[in-house]
């Protein structure tokens, strides 16, 4: 795993910790809560698509092939989508300069991690380019 990818993982976790520690994470808005719960459900759904022993926090491919079940039928990176949804719902629910910085830094950290992971997936799985052509990176039907 590359240094950039490791750093991105640390930044994602640190971003959530900073938002919790600053008191920005918890909000009474039903919309914010729904988005946060949706992010957690999406992450759980994505995790459940992996076979036993196949899931890793690192972006190193494992297993016998490209996962195409669960949310992976619609988007290539549902775990990152869930992390970004969680962060941005929190930031929008309680906007602050610190929150905006955290959201921007986490988003900018996720981009090279996705690129690193996709490079590794293309190298390992010959069918990945076709899968990538037919699914979106983060948001179904959009992005």
Distance, CA of 79 to CA of 48 (rounded, Å): 11
| Type and span of the H or E element at 17 | helix 3-21
Q: What is the structure's pLDDT at 62?
A: 64
Domain boundaries, the chain: 3-50+64-134
Confidence of residue 111 (pLDDT cuts 50, 70, 90): very high
Mean pLDDT estimate for the chain: 88
Distance, in Å, from the CA atom of 106 to the CA atom of 26, rounded to the nearest integer, reads 18
pLDDT band at residue 1 using 50, 70 and 90 as cut-offs: low
pLDDT in tens, 32-88: 999 999 999 999 999 898 877 666 655 566 667 888 999 999 999 999 999 999 999
User: With bands split at pLDDT 50, 70 and 90, how would you rate the model's confidence at 138?
Assistant: very high
At residue 5, does pLDDT exceed 90? no
d(CA 27, CA 92): 10
- Which of 23-27, 33-37, 79-83, 102-106 has the weakest average pLDDT? 23-27
Helix (H, G, I), strand (E, B) or coil at 136: strand
Which two tokens mark 57?
């926090």
What proportion of the chain, given as a percentage, has pLDDT over 90? 63
Full-model pTM: 0.86
């Amino acid at each position: 795993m590359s240094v950039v990818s490791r750093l991105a993982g640390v930044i994602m976790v640190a971003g959530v910790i900073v938002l919790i520690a600053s008191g920005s994470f918890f909000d009474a808005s039903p919309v914010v809560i729904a988005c946060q719960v949706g992010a957690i459900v999406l992450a759980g759904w994505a995790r459940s698509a992996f076979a036993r022993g196949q899931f890793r926090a690192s972006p190193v491919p494992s297993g016998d092939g490209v996962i195409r079940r669960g949310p992976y039928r619609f988007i290539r990176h549902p775990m990152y989508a869930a992390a970004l949804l969680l962060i941005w719902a929190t930031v929008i629910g309680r906007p602050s300069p610190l929150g905006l910085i955290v959201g921007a830094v986490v988003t900018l950290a996720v981009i090279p991690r996705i690129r690193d992971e996709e490079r590794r997936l293309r190298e390992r799985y010959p069918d990945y380019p076709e899968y990538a052509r037919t699914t979106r990176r983060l948001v179904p039907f959009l992005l």
